[in-house]
Structure 1
Amino acid sequence: MIRKLTLCASVLAFLHGCSVFPNPEARRVMDFSAATVDFRAAEKRPYSLRVDTPYASDPFNGSRILAKPTPWEFRIYEDVRWRDTIPVIVRDLLVQTLRSANAFESVVGETNPVDTDWTLISELSAFHTENGRPTPAIMIELHSQLVANRSREKLCTRTFSVVEISPAGDIEAIVQTFNQAGAAIAGEVAAWAVHCGESADSSDGNRSGQAALR
């Protein structure tokens, strides 16, 4: 059973604080650990990649750690939050993982002003716990596209979904399981992205038109 949750009458009220039960500032700030991924590219692709912050609607664009005990209700874990908004946490994890995978010539976040060949665009549709038996299940879902910046052509599209069961119901175990689920989905994104790069260099021509720039 999910412990220490604050219930709000609706998602909107939940985001702005409940009028009956005020939502105090969280006392604990959580983060993902350093990115670790088993995937390593066999060969670095000759492209630079920008990772945009994933799009997300309420409540996934906030910084609170979310639970969804029923299909129609979100709750938050009391006194704890992520160090930044969930989309920023996911963006930073993707950047770190893609760099560690040695998959591209360079990988930057969207705040970096440098020009790049491709952009990774994503939509975040799940980043929460759900009731598990007997402990919570962590759910992360990310719909991603690789886009060639010069032509704006979509090179590859895929939806990634990961479910990890927490070994316990306390917040430390839940955050650790979020880390494991995040590492798993980031590793899948890295492997997919580098293979998309390989297909763009296939014998029927460079679909993005970026190789001619090099």
Structure 2
Amino acid sequence: MTLRSIRNLTLLLGAAVAGGCTVFPNPEPPRVMDLAVVQTAPAAEQRIQASLRVDTPYASEPFNGSLILAKPTPQEFRAYEGTRWRDTAPVVVRDTLVSSLRQSGAYTNVITDTNPAQAELTLVTELSAFHSETPESGPQVVIELHLQMIHNRSRASLCTRTERVVEPAPGTSVDQIVEAFGTAGSDLAARVIEWATRCDYPSRLRPSPETDQPRQP
């Protein structure tokens, strides 16, 4: 390339940048997906007389990112191209649990770990699966969450459980996979609410029979 050609190319690039253009095409922005819970959380039979803090789940690679993951073989993870979750997978799961727990009325208040307010209880979780699979039976999504309820004052563990939800997907497209994630998220939230309200709480946090009865005039 001659010196004159280099100068002409430099002038062309400068004009393109000045005009708000680029010589190289911009990549398409990724689609941003959410975990759309498909059913209303069931109402709790009794309200625990305590506030609950829901911590963001602990997670290791690759579940601590925002990629929508597939696991085509037991040894390999892949990501769906051109899409991602609206936030990291642990945050998406946390927000789903918080929303469902609030709807259920199981606690006097439900907050996230970003809220500076005090709480009597903390739900600590570990996310160990959040991906799609394609076994011979057909495509499915898997969510696995280990749960532990902590009494903040004593730091005692009141109850523990591991929930694993497997939800069939109607197909292998990213929209069908995300749809199945929404159904699985609803199932997971319902299981967590049922489990959490049955923990071995201190008696003062349990509603007494008198509080459930209407007051006499």
**Which runs of structure 2 are paired with 1:23-102 in the superposition (5 Å)?**
27-34=30-37, 36-102=39-105
1:186 aligns with 2:189: yes
1:1-214 mapped onto 2 (5 Å cutoff): 27-34=30-37, 36-133=39-136, 135-196=138-199, 199-201=200-202
Are residues 89 and 106 of structure 1, via their aligned partners in 2, closer, same or farther at CA, if it must alter by over 3 Å? same
- Identify which range, 39-48 or 60-69, moves more after superposition: 39-48
Instruction: Report SS of the residue matched to 1:33.
Output: coil
How far is the alpha carbon of 1:107 from its aligned partner?
A: 0.3
Amino acid at match of 2:117: V
- Say which SS state the counterpart of residue 64 (structure 1) adopts: coil
Deviations 1:46-88 (A, max 9, x none): 0100000000000000000001111111000000000000000
Question: Counterpart in 2 of 1:20?
Answer: none
| Percent of paired sites with the same residue | 51
Q: Hey, what's the Cα distance between the residues in 2 that align with 1:180 and 1:34?
A: 6
Question: Structure 2: which 5+ residue stretches go unaligned?
Answer: 1-26, 206-217
The residue type paired with residue 168 of structure 1 is G
In structure 2, the CA distance between the partners of 1:38 and 1:116, relative to structure 1 (3 Å rule), is: closer
Deviations 1:90-133 (A, max 9, x none): 00000001001110010001101000000000000000011133
Distance in structure 1 (CA, Å) of the matches to 2:144 and 2:191: 12
What's the RMSD between the two structures over aligned residues? 1.7
Q: Secondary structure at the match of 1:169?
A: coil
Change (3 A) 1:174 1:137: same
Tell me the TM-score normalized by structure 2.
0.78
CA change 1:54–1:89 in 2 (3 A) is same
Structure 1 range deviating more: 127-136 or 49-58: 127-136
Mapped partners of 2:64, 2:114: distance in 1: 18
**SS state at 2:81 partner:** strand
The one-letter amino acid paired with 2:88 is T
**Cα shift at 1:37:** 3.6
Shift of 1:159: 0.2
CA contact (8 A) 2:41 2:101 kept: no
What is the aligned length? Answer: 179
TM-score with structure 1 length normalisation? Answer: 0.79
Higher CA-based Rg: 2
Shift in Å at residue 180 of structure 1?
A: 0.3
Structure 1 runs (4+) deviating above 4 angstroms are none
Q: In 2, distance between residues paired with 1:122 and 1:39?
A: 21
Distance 2:38 2:102 in 1: 10
Equivalent pair of 1:52/1:122 in contact (CA under 8 Å) = yes
Q: Is the 8 A contact 1:121 1:147 kept in 2?
A: yes
